[in-house]
Amino acid sequence: MPETKLEIRSKVDQFPLDDQQTSSLKMLLRVCRNTLDKVDEEMIERAFRLCCMSHQSDLRASGEPYYLHPLEVAVIMAEEFNIDDVSVAAALLHDTVEDTTVTLEEIRKLFGADVMHIIDGLTKISGVFENKNTRQAETFMKLLLSMAEDIRVVLIKFADRLHNMRTIGPLSRQRQLNKAMETIELYAPLAHRFGLFKIKNELEDLCFKVIDPNSYKFIVRKLREKREAREAFIDEFMNPIQSELQGQKFSFEIKGRPKHIYSIYKKMQSQQKPFEEIYDLFAIRIILEYPHTKEDCWRVYSVITDWYTPIPKRFRDFISVPKANGYQSLHTTVITKKGRKVEVQIRTRRMDYIAEQGVAAHWKYKEGEVNDGKNGSEQLDKMLHWVRDVLDAPRPEAATEFVKDFQLNLYQDEIYVFTPNGELKTLPNGASCIDFAFEIHSEIGERAIAAKVNGKMVPLRQKLKSGDQVEIITSGKVNLNPDWMEDVVTHKAKARIRQFIKQKERKVANQGREIWEKRATRGKVEISDQEITQIAKIFKFNDAQELFYEIGSGAFDVNQLYKRVKQFKSKGRLDQDETEQEKVSLTEKSEEMTRLARSAGEGKALLVEGELTDVKYSYANCCNPIPGDHVLGFLSRNGDVKIHRSNCKNAHHLIRTDNERIVEISWAKNIGTQFLGGIRVVGEDRVGLVNDLTEVLSKSLQTNMKSINVSSEDGMFEGLITAYVNDLSHLEKIIKRLERVEGIRNVSRYE
């Protein structure tokens, strides 16, 4: 017989805690008392005891007791989000149903329906799926469904992922990359969409540290070197502003901090500039204390622009038009008298709280835990509206396609456009008139035939920009065009167009099946769907539906199918060509390739999972890895390995799409081969500069050059040098030596 509620509770309450666990429980309760408005300590203690009891035999990859992970997730829920005691209890138990013998029904008996539903939403999908990616996609879809009902589900997921990324070190390199790629492409953008900027920034930095450790360390070192100068500059910049604001009786706090590491890296990449030329490395934030209002933010803006010259193109008013995640602030970039650019953000204390806490703040407003006279429920509904839109839209047949579409709407910059009646609509940057039509209503998108932007007729495919006023002209019938798929960026538009394409394909496939059935009847043959599927695969089709589509569209002759079927019926088997007879499954092939790649060899540059190999390999031209770079290998179908740098975009694509072919790669010692390294040199143009650079390379460093391309404009020189190097330390030595050449401002590795 199943245990009663009292029996389960008694067993949990009597579970003995060791000294470390007792100390951990006291710490957690202390954090909860300091950060939560009310705390059911009995519930949290019971959840902690059940956590320790159910995970008592489990260890993390680091060898630590497993209960420390849910404990840290619970601490993050209390300290970072300070939601409520229910979410802390659920955080302690978030892995129990998935990884232990504890059931959802037992959770309900001990803690109630709320905790049970939250844990159910966090539990991964189990069962038989075609591959790991499908299972992950199904789990993510389940998370979205649960999140639409209770936002605490996704907040615990963020806390869980944050702690996993903080403690990722003991995992293998491949598992680290998989986790980091999933986090930076899905969970960090999702945190951004919910206004959780602090969490988003830390997740991105932790992922960047895994994906490209060399660049991460470089930027950290540069920030550390410039810290004193940066702080002195912030003080100098703010002194007159501070005096002016104090004179006008403002109550405020000033924060000056560097932008997070990954955002600096992205700026260096997008602008193709070295660290030293990225001037807005930090933002100064002015936070006005209560009872200051948004009108006071404009007064502060006026004070700043009286002292420093603003750059008009860099002004953003997120107070009048908040971001979709509720973010409000004034942003301006100004230039000092010495020509330095500084970004300044101005906001009230409430705006800052929402900017830091995002959806968690709106949840607390909704529940009445924070009372400032605002309608928290309305704000929360607004933030979740896009999730419900995604869930209500026609879903692709494959869960992986759903997740891919969902990503499109996560991380793009936003534009603000207006309906003819002046209603504001927020769309991703790059959205077209078609996206706008579907944003108004699905039926408008389906029947759209033309558009007017700012009163002028334009093609439906035209991209929109902030401030546009858009009117959609419709017809009385559906006008969907499959070619629109390339012109839309929103999930709602893509989902409906994909559904339309599938419907058309299904119709053509049905016509193809009818053609086949008539031919089969005429030839007096009968064959099952299962046998047709086998024959379809002989013709290189994925399934019978794809075969019938080709017949229906006229791309495949039905008589070819008839001939094969007759052969099958007469011989009781299918004659396959030699290639087909030798064909093995991708899984078997991958296992065989991996076995070959691990076979021992001598004197090679490549180590697979720590072992020297004699497998054939080559270096990817897209990223030109050199010894010392963090790298990974991709197994081709013929068993060769292509080596990429771990920060290469193509490598990231391979991790997402062909994960089973990735192998862990490291460099052997004493390789004895030279590699191509790219170097970018920027400085003041002068006579003899190129000669000085080449002389340093050839004479001082005994390094051979493959090529040098130079250009000069307005007295500035830029050179791109390709040189033969032994490894990363050799390349870094060249960079440091070239920096000492007269007139050189910056030297960096060039992709």
DSSP sequence for 99-152: HSS--HHHHHHHH-HHHHHHHHHHSPP-S--SSHHHHHHHHHHHHHHHHHH-TH
Provide the b/e sequence for 154-192 (b: ≥16 CB within 10 Å): bbbbbbbbbbbbebbeebebbebbbbbbbbbbbbbbbbb
Half-sphere exposure of 87 (CA within 13 A, CB side): 29
φ, ψ for residue 525, nearest 5 deg = -120, 150
What is the distance of C-alpha 111 from the center of its chain? 34
Phi, psi of 171 (to 5 degrees): -75, 160
Type and span of the H or E element at 705: strand 705-713
- The neighbour count for residue 745, using CB atoms within 10 Å, is 14
- With b for 16 or more beta-carbon neighbours within 10 A and e for fewer, the 402-412 pattern comes to bbbbbebbbbb
Considering the candidates 99, 114, 614, 732, report the single residue annotated as catalytic.
99
Alpha-helix residue ranges (DSSP H) falling in 456-608: 491-522, 529-538, 544-552, 558-571, 578-581, 586-597
Torsion sign over Cα 538, 543, 547, 553: negative
78 with 36: CB under 8 angstroms? yes
- Exactly one of 98, 253, 381, 591 is catalytic; name it: 98
Q: What angle (nearest 5°) sits at the alpha carbon of residue 586, between those of residues 582 and 590?
A: 105
Q: How far is CA 103 from CA 95, 108, 138, in A?
A: 11, 9, 21
- The CA-atom distances, in angstroms, between 628 and each of 115, 172, 274, 326, 646 are 48, 18, 21, 44, 12
Q: Is 150 a catalytic residue?
A: no
Asked if residue 53 lies in contact with residue 15, where contact means CB atoms within 8 angstroms, the answer is yes
The answer to whether the beta carbons of residues 127 and 79 sit under 8 Å apart is: no
Convert 124-137 to b/e letters by CB count within 10 Å (16 or more is b): ebeeeeeeebebbb
Residues 6+ apart with CB under 8 A from 427: 414, 415, 417, 435, 436, 439, 464, 490
Instruction: List phi, psi (to 5°) of 418.
Output: -125, 150
Contact 643, 669 (CB under 8 A): no
- How do beta strands 282-288 and 252-258 pair? antiparallel
74 residue type, one letter? A
Residues 79, 625: Cα–Cα separation, whole Å: 42
Reading the block at residue 63, the tokens are 């060898």
- Our answer to whether residue 98 is catalytic in this structure is yes
User: Across the chain, which distance is largest between two alpha carbons, in Å?
Assistant: 99
Calpha distance 320→278 (Å, rounded): 29
Map 195-264 to HEC letters.
Answer: CCHHHHHHHHHHHHHHHCHHHHHHHHHHHHHCHHHHHHHHHHHHHHHHHHHHHCCCCEEEEEEECCHHHH
Q: Which two tokens stand for residue 483?
A: 């070619």
Report, in this order, helix, strand and coil percent for the chain, each rounded to 5: 55, 15, 30
Token couple for 450: 């033309």
Instruction: Report the C-alpha gap between 735 and 741 in whole angstroms.
Output: 10
Contact, 494 vs 405, CB < 8 A? yes
Q: Which residues are catalytic?
A: 98-99
